[in-house]
Amino acid sequence: MSISQKASTFELTSDLQNRLLLDRIDLHVEVPAVDYKDLSSRDEGESSGLVRERVVAARQRQIERFAKYDGVTCNAAMPSNVMREVCQIDATASGYLEHAMNELNFSARAHDRILKVARTLADLAGREAIDAADVLEAIQYRTLDRKLMM
């Protein structure tokens, strides 16, 4: 095997390892640099206390939801059979997810992660049902690995 073939094989192996690693991470978030004006602004964003209240309420919803399932206490720990039951989406959301799966070549693992994240987004918003906006936001959190692979 020539040096260029070995290098090419190494690059393919490295790309595959990166892709496999990213596929196991639920949220992929690109964080851009913050503009100085935003950092020095006196405008206050949402307080940590309010965010904490929302998270605690969402976790309580999950505990109550999963009380009837052995070993499941949160959305991330849902097995597939439970996920199919508690992550039902409407036709619009399903269409968005199908389009993303086809166009972005997401794995089956990514499909499940998108639904679990969408379920969490609905919980954080205090809603029982997952809506199309939750699915779109969850899809957005899976696109960083696609950007890196292109």
Dist CA 56 CA 14 (whole Å): 39
Could you tell me if 66 and 72 are in contact, meaning their C-beta atoms sit under 8 angstroms apart?
yes
Q: What is the pLDDT of residues 63-102, one digit of tens each?
A: 999 999 999 999 999 999 999 999 999 999 999 999 999 9
**How much is the pLDDT for 1?**
55
Q: Where does 11-127 show beta strands of DSSP type E?
A: none
**How much is the pLDDT for 64?**
96
**Phi (first) and psi of residue 141, to 5 degrees:** -70, -10
Helix (H, G, I), strand (E, B) or coil at 35: coil
**How much is the pLDDT for 138?**
95
Q: What is the Cα Rg of the chain in Å?
A: 19
What's the pTM value of the predicted model, to 2 decimals? Answer: 0.76
| Confidence band, pLDDT 50/70/90 cuts, at residue 150 | very low
As a 3-state breakdown, the chain gives helix, strand, coil percent values, each rounded to 5, of: 70, 0, 30
Could you tell me if 56 and 49 are in contact, meaning their C-beta atoms sit under 8 angstroms apart?
no
18 pLDDT above the threshold of 80: no
Dist CA 58 CA 50 (whole Å): 12
